[in-house]
Amino acid sequence: MTVYLDHAATTPILPEAAAAMTAQLGSVGNANSLHASGRAARRVVEESRETVARALGCRPGEVVFTSGGTEADNLALKGLYWSRRASDPARVRILSSAVEHHAVLDPLHWLAEEEDAQVELIGVDAVGRLDLDALRASIEADPGSVALVSVMWANNEVGTVQPIAEVVALAHEHGIPVHTDAVQAVGQVPVDFAASGVDAMTVTGHKIGGPYGIGALLVRREVQLTALLHGGGQERDVRSGTIDAPAIAGFAAACELAVKHQPALADGLARLRDRLEAGVLARVPEAISNGDPDAGAEHRLPGNAHLTFPGCEGDSLLMLLDARGIECSTGSACNAGVPQASHVLLAMGYDDEQARGSLRFSLGHTSTEADVDALLEAIGPVVERARAAGQTSRAGKEPV
């Protein structure tokens, strides 16, 4: 039996979302065609757009469908930067957090390298929460040069929920638009686009029980974006391309259910998460729980448990657990086969060794107490074996 504890990477598709998608797969019709089949496809898309808008608290015309979170982040960051700079060449600065997902960090790096953007990554505290005083100081140093601010709603590694309302207040005081990547937040904590005050928000399907390859950028009608893709002018003329009606139908169904069931799901996940953390710490007392110790929904995602195991390599722990049928993720990224310390943990003040010895266990709608029990049974022996392997490896590297 496989124990799946990696819902933050992707979560199993909901039966209702699969049904909504497959119901459209046998239909023919381009949603931009004027004949009956095209109009039928367009009706599916627009009804789905209305469903997503109701669930996330925006107007239907503010939903721009994309291929997922990465494209939506790129459209928000590049589209806003180009548009703002075109209207005011002095707008060259982009402010973001040091713990963003690479779907934000990499486009920012590209903009700095290729488009002369001045990217400033604002630091975080020991639990991964944005330093609001540092953000305020950076804005007030020269507000007229800031093109946009981008801060994720909740961190994908340690689960810390960011103070989005305060970020919006600071930025809007100077007329600066705010983008947030809410990929991890939807379905886990309450998310309302209009109430949040943000100007653009990224969401995706496969994190909420929908299909892969579909997501959306919610963007206020008055916000101007420069398109990344040019062609048929679909999606407000900022995201050209033939519209994927079946995937959109599945995404809308998942979005509606994720938001509807969020309160009950969050309660259940928080209880499982707390039991998992307490059980791991009882079996491995030297382990460290990362992220905000306040488990309230306004501080931390209910399905996230992130722990550091001193003396262990996260990759070794992951593979040893995987051999026992338990799937989770490491707290580090792997680039070209070379383990790298998590930039999130480094930004939180951890050293390189601590940052490489961490695991993320993320829970979702299929998680059970039996899943937690299986992990708790395995974690002690796995840590002992990983620690022994690490000691042997380090001994072999010592000079003679």
- Indicate the burial class of 60 (C-beta count within 10 angstroms; 0-12, 13-18, 19 or more): middle
Contacts of 45 (CB under 8 A, 6+ apart): 31, 65, 243, 245, 248
Biggest CA-to-CA distance, the chain: 79
Contacts of 335 (CB under 8 A, 6+ apart): none
Q: Is 312 a catalytic residue?
A: no
Q: Annotated catalytic residue: which of 58, 255, 328, 334?
A: 334
Query: By the 8 A CB rule, do 240 and 233 touch?
Result: yes
Distance CA(381)–CA(313), nearest Å, equals 15
Which residue is associated with the tokens 């939180």? 348
Distance CA(307)–CA(328), nearest Å, equals 12
Query: By the 8 A CB rule, do 177 and 200 touch?
Result: yes
Query: By the 8 A CB rule, do 347 and 101 touch?
Result: no
First to last CA, the chain: 46
34's tokens: 């004027």
Nearest residue to 326 (alpha-carbon basis) of 355, 361, 276, 290? 361
- Indicate the burial class of 191 (C-beta count within 10 angstroms; 0-12, 13-18, 19 or more): buried
- Cα 154 to chain center, whole Å? 7
How many angstroms separate the Cα of 364 from the Cα of each of 76, 144, 266, 304, 367? Answer: 28, 43, 9, 9, 5
Which residue is associated with the tokens 């709603």? 153
What DSSP string describes 246-300? Answer: HHHHHHHHHHHHHHHTHHHHHHHHHHHHHHHHHHHHHHSTT-EE-S-S--STTTB
Catalytic residues: 334
